[in-house]
C-alpha cells in the first residue's frame, strides 16, 4: 500500500510539473560563419521577445525557453538544426535567415508539424511552394523587392550601363532575377549579367570586367560580405560605379568592410520598424543594453509575438489550433499590425529605398526616391572601356 501511495504521489507530481512545464521554442540562423551578424540579429530579437513575453505572464500560463540553432546559412546544416528542434519537441521556430536554409528546413517542420515563421527569408519559393500550412514569414518577398529595385534603376539611372550580378544562392540569384525582370519590363536591357562565387576574397577579374564594360551601376544579388569587398575593389580601380543591393546589406558590418567605399550604396529594405511607436520601448531597452536593433531584430521579435498571440487565441500550442489562429487572426507587433495571406505571406507594406552615408543606412524620403539621379558621370564609360558586354 505504501508503495502504491508513493507511486500515486510521484505520478501526481509529474502531472503537475507537466501542466506547468516551460515551452521550448527555437530560433535558427547563421550564428557562426560569414553571415553571423544576421544570426546575431535573430538571436537578440528572439531573446528579447521571450523575456518580454515571460515578464507579461508567458503563453497560456507557461514560460518560454529559447533553443538556438546555428545553420551557418548551409542547407544541410539547416536540415540538421530542424531535426534537432523536432527531437526537442519544439512547437515553433523563428527562422531561418537565408532562404537556402529556410526552404529545405521547412520540409522537416512540415513533416514534424512544427510552425516556422521566418523573419528574413525573402525567396518567393519559400511560401509559393511551402510544404505545409504552418510555414509563414513576416518579411517581404524578392519579387516585391525586385520590382522596387528594377523600377528605381530604370527611372533614376536611365542612361547608365547597368550590371546585374548574383552569388548563385537561392536568395541572391532570386533577388537579381526579379530585379532584372522588372528592369527589363521598364524597357531597359542590362549591359552585363554575371554570376560570382560567394566566399571568395578577390573579385578583381569581375570588377575589371565591369570597368571595361563602362558600368555605371551594379546591382548585386548577394550578401554584405561579398558586396563590401567588391565596393572596395571597385574604388581601388578608380571606379565611381553606383552600388545597389537588397536587404542583406542591413548590417553595420557592411560599412566595417567598405569604409568610405560604401558611401552612397543603395539598398532595398522594408520601412524601418524602429520608427514604429510600438517598437520604441523595445528599441530603447536594447540600445540601453548595448545590443543591436538593426536589420531583422524586430522582425524576429514580431515572429515570436505573432506565434505567442496565436497560441493564446487557440488556448494551446497544438499545431492545427495555432495554424488556424495564425490564418484567421490579426496581430499587433513591433513591426505593425499584420495578417497572413493564404500562402503564409505577411500583409504589410513592401520595400523602400535606403542609402548608406557616413557609416549609417537610412530611408530615402519620397522626394529623394523620385528625384534621385545618377552621378553626372555614372553613364559615361570608365577609363579603358572595351566594347559593350552582352547580357546573358
| pLDDT higher than threshold 70 for residue 382 | no
Q: What is the pLDDT of residues 97-121, one digit of tens each?
A: 999 999 999 999 999 999 999 999 9
Name the residue with cell 567588391.
230
In order of start, what are the domains of the chain with their CATH numbers?
2-140+274-338 (3.40.50.2300), 143-269+359-371 (3.40.50.2300)
Grouping H, G, I as helix, E, B as strand and the rest as coil, residue 40 is helix
Rounded Cα gap, residues 237 and 261, in angstroms: 11
Sign of the alpha-carbon torsion through 76, 77, 78, 80 = positive
Q: Per-residue pLDDT averaged across 127-148, rounded? A: 97
Contacts of 344 (CB under 8 A, 6+ apart): 127, 130, 133, 135, 136, 137
Q: How much is the pLDDT for 212? A: 97
166 forms beta bridges with: 195, 221
Task: Provide the mean pLDDT of the chain.
Answer: 89
Q: Interhelix angle for 142-156 vs 170-185, to 10°? A: 40
Pick the more confident residue, 374 or 183.
183
| pLDDT higher than threshold 80 for residue 270 | yes
Longest Cα separation, the chain: 96
Grouping H, G, I as helix, E, B as strand and the rest as coil, residue 269 is strand
Q: What is the pLDDT of residues 193-207, one digit of tens each?
A: 999 999 999 999 999
Residue 238 φ/ψ, nearest 5 degrees: 80, 15
Q: What is the pLDDT of residues 223-233, one digit of tens each?
A: 999 999 999 99
Q: How far apart are the first and last CA of the chain?
A: 83
Q: How much is the pLDDT for 237? A: 96
Q: How much is the pLDDT for 20? A: 54
Q: What is the pLDDT of residues 17-49, one digit of tens each?
A: 334 569 999 999 999 999 999 999 999 999 999
Contacts of 360 (CB under 8 A, 6+ apart): 255
Amino acid at each position: 500500500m505504501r508503495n502504491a501511495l508513493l507511486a500515486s504521489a510521484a505520478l501526481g507530481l509529474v502531472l503537475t510539473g507537466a501542466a506547468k512545464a516551460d515551452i521550448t521554442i527555437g530560433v535558427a540562423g547563421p550564428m557562426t560563419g560569414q553571415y553571423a551578424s544576421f544570426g546575431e540579429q535573430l538571436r537578440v530579437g528572439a531573446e528579447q521577445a521571450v523575456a518580454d513575453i515571460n515578464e507579461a505572464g508567458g503563453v497560456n500560463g507557461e514560460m518560454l525557453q529559447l533553443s538556438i540553432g546555428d545553420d551557418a546559412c548551409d542547407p544541410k546544416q539547416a536540415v540538421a538544426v530542424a531535426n534537432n528542434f523536432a527531437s526537442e519537441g519544439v512547437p515553433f521556430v523563428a527562422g531561418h535567415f537565408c532562404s537556402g536554409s529556410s526552404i529545405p528546413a521547412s520540409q522537416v517542420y512540415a513533416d514534424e508539424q512544427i510552425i516556422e515563421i521566418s523573419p528574413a527569408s525573402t525567396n518567393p519559393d519559400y511560401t509559393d511552394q511551402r510544404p505545409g500550412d504552418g510555414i509563414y514569414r513576416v518579411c517581404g518577398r524578392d519579387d516585391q523587392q525586385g520590382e522596387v529595385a528594377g523600377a528605381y534603376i530604370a527611372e533614376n539611372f536611365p542612361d547608365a550601363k547597368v550590371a546585374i550580378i548574383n552569388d548563385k544562392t537561392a536568395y541572391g540569384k532570386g533577388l537579381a532575377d526579379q530585379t532584372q525582370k522588372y528592369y527589363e519590363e521598364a524597357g531597359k536591357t542590362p549591359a552585363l549579367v554575371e554570376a560570382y562565387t560567394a566566399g571568395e576574397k578577390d573579385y578583381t577579374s569581375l570588377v575589371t570586367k565591369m570597368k571595361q564594360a563602362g558600368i555605371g551601376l551594379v546591382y548585386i544579388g548577394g550578401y554584405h560580405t561579398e558586396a563590401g569587398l567588391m565596393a572596395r575593389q571597385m574604388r581601388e580601380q578608380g571606379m565611381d560605379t553606383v552600388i545597389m543591393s537588397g536587404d542583406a546589406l542591413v548590417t553595420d558590418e557592411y560599412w566595417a568592410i567598405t569604409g568610405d567605399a560604401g558611401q552612397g550604396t543603395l539598398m532595398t529594405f522594408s520601412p524601418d520598424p524602429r520608427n514604429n511607436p510600438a517598437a520604441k520601448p523595445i528599441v530603447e531597452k536594447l540600445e540601453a543594453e548595448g545590443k543591436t536593433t538593426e536589420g531583422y531584430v524586430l522582425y524576429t521579435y514580431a515572429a515570436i509575438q505573432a506565434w505567442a498571440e496565436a497560441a493564446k487565441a487557440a488556448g494551446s500550442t497544438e499545431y492545427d489550433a495555432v495554424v488556424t489562429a495564425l490564418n484567421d487572426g490579426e496581430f499587433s507587433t513591433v513591426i505593425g499590425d499584420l495578417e497572413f495571406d493564404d500562402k503564409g505571406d505577411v500583409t504589410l507594406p513592401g520595400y523602400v529605398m535606403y542609402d548608406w552615408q557616413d557609416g549609417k543606412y537610412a530611408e530615402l524620403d519620397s522626394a529623394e526616391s523620385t528625384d534621385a539621379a545618377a552621378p553626372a558621370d555614372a553613364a559615361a564609360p570608365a577609363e579603358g572601356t572595351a566594347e559593350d558586354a552582352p547580357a546573358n
